[in-house]
Amino acid sequence: MTTTRHESGRRSGSSRRPTQADVARLAGVSQTTVSLVLSGSGAAQRRVGEEVSERVLRAIELTGYVANPVAQSLAGGRTSIIGVYTYEPVFPHDAGNFYYPFLEGMEDEAQRLGVDLLLFTSMAPSHRGLTGGSGIRRLRVADGCVLLGRHSSPDDLAELVRQEFPFAFVGRRETPAGEVPFAGAAYQDATASVVEHLLELGHRRIALVNEYTGHESVEDRARGYRRAMAAAGLQPVTFDQGDRDAGDLLDALRASGMTAAAVSSDVVGRLRRAALDRGLTVPGDLSLARLGDPEIREDADVDWTGFLIPRMQMGAEALRIVARRLAGDEDTDAQVFIPCTLVDGSTAGPLAPSA
C-alpha cells in the first residue's frame, strides 16, 4: 500500500510563502529596498526614506512575510543557530545525567541570546570525530558551535582552530595548533583548596588518587594538588587509580601511611566502601575528599567533602564565548575558568591523635 511519491517528499506547502520579491511588488519598490528596510543594522536602515520604509513595512504586514533563514545564511547573513557537538550521547540512558546540566545552562543562555541550538546527533554513532567524516563542514550550518565531551579528538580541535571557526569547548582543552576557546572548571584552584582544607585539619600525608590519562581535567587537578603540597613543604604522592581493585588501592594508601586522600570522583565511592568493608571508618581512619561530583550519581546519601563541578555555568559560558566571538569581540577572554563550589562535608575530619 505504500505509494512512493514522485516529489520525493519535498516540502509542499499549499501556497508558496511570500518572499522579499513579493513584498517589493506589493510595495512598488525593489527587492533590494525591502532587504534594506529589514536589515535593521543602523547604517543600512537609515538609507531608505521614511515614506518608502513605511510602505514596505505595510506590505510585509499584509503578506505576512518572514525572512528565510537559509537564504540569509547562504547570502552571508546569520542563521542564529549555534551547534552543539558532543563526543558522547547527550542524553545518556543511565541514571547519572552527566551532560544534562551542561545543556541546561546552554538552553538558558541560548534563550537569552536569541539563538537556536543544533544538536549534532547524526555524527555521534561512529565517534570518529568531526574531521574524519564530513563532520566539520556540517557544523557550518550553524554560526558557531559548542563542543562537549570527555573523549574529544585532538585532530578536530586542531582543524577547528586552523579554520578559525567560532567555537568553544566545555572544559579546558589544549592543542598545539593554537589557542582553544573554552569554558572550563577551575579544577586547579578547587583541588588546591581541598588539599589546604585537609592540611588545616592537621593532615600531612595527603595522597592524590587519580586516573593515569593525560586528560586536561586530570592534569589540572594534579597541578592544584602539587601546588598546595609544595606550598606546605610536603611531598606530593600520587596513586594511579588504574583498573586496580579499590581494596588494593586502599591497602596501598594505608601501607604508605596516608591519612587523607584527594580522590577522583569516579573511584572515591568504591574506595570509601572498601574502607568500610575492612572495618575502617571514614574519616576516622582515613579522610577522603572528592574532586568533583561524578558522572554517575552514586552514594548520593554520603555527605562528601570536596567540590562540585559548575556544569550549568560552564555550558552557559561556552555559549557566551561563541556569541562574543560572533559579535566580533576578538579581544574578549576566550578561555574562561569557572570556580567550583567547595563542600565542607563529613568524609574528611581532623587527623586522629594516634596517627
Partner DNA sequence: CTGAAAGCGCTTACAG
Q: Which of 21, 62, 71, 231 binds a second copy (CB under 8 A)?
A: 71
42, three cell numbers: 543602523
246, three cell numbers: 579499590
Residues numbered 325-344 forming contacts with a second copy, rule: CB under 8 A? 325-332
Residue 35 interacting partner from a second copy, DNA, none (CB closer than 5 to 8 Å by kind): DNA
How far apart CA 235 and CA 206 sit, in angstroms, is 9
> Least CB distance from residue 84 to DNA, whole Å?
23
Does 95 contact a second copy by CB under 8 A?
A: no
Three-class secondary structure of residue 117 per DSSP: strand
Choices 88-96, 210-218, 276-284, 302-310; region in contact with a second copy by CB under 8 A: 88-96
Q: CB–CB of 147/167 below 8 Å?
A: yes
Instruction: Please say which residue, 197 or 325, places its beta carbon nearer to a second copy.
Output: 325
Q: How many Cα atoms are found within 13 Å in the side-chain-facing hemisphere of 143?
A: 26
Amino acid letter, 303: D
Instruction: Please say which residue, 21 or 327, places its beta carbon nearer to a second copy.
Output: 327
Site string for a second copy, 14-33 (x = CB under 8 A): x--x----------------
Q: CB–CB of 339/189 below 8 Å?
A: yes
> Least CB distance from residue 317 to a second copy, whole Å?
16
- What b/e string do you get for 12-36 counting C-beta neighbours within 10 Å, with b at 16 or more? eeeeeebbbebbbbbbebeeebbbb
Does 332 contact DNA by CB under 7 A?
A: no
> Least CB distance from residue 323 to DNA, whole Å?
18
How far apart CA 117 and CA 103 sit, in angstroms, is 10
Instruction: Please say which residue, 135 or 283, places its beta carbon nearer to a second copy.
Output: 135
Q: CB–CB of 342/305 below 8 Å?
A: no
Q: How many Cα atoms are found within 13 Å in the side-chain-facing hemisphere of 333?
A: 8
Does 67 contact DNA by CB under 7 A?
A: yes
Instruction: Please say which residue, 67 or 232, places its beta carbon nearer to a second copy.
Output: 67
Does 301 contact a second copy by CB under 8 A?
A: no
Does 153 contact DNA by CB under 7 A?
A: no
Does 4 contact a second copy by CB under 8 A?
A: yes
Residues numbered 244-263 forming contacts with DNA, rule: CB under 7 A? none
Does 13 contact a second copy by CB under 8 A?
A: yes
Q: Which of 4, 9, 15, 38 binds DNA (CB under 7 A)?
A: 38
Instruction: Please say which residue, 23 or 340, places its beta carbon nearer to DNA.
Output: 23
Does 16 contact DNA by CB under 7 A?
A: yes
**Dihedrals phi, psi of 145, to nearest 5 degrees:** -155, 145
Amino acid letter, 162: R
74, three cell numbers: 547562504
228, three cell numbers: 598546595
Does 43 contact DNA by CB under 7 A?
A: no
15, three cell numbers: 501556497
Instruction: Please say which residue, 40 or 233, places its beta carbon nearer to DNA.
Output: 40
Residues numbered 73-112 forming contacts with DNA, rule: CB under 7 A? 74-77
Q: Which residues contact 104 (CB under 8 A, 6 or more apart)?
A: 311, 312, 315
Write down the H helix ranges in 114-153: 135-138
User: How many CB atoms are located within 10 Å of the residue 338 CB?
Assistant: 17
Does 63 contact a second copy by CB under 8 A?
A: no
Does 17 contact DNA by CB under 7 A?
A: yes
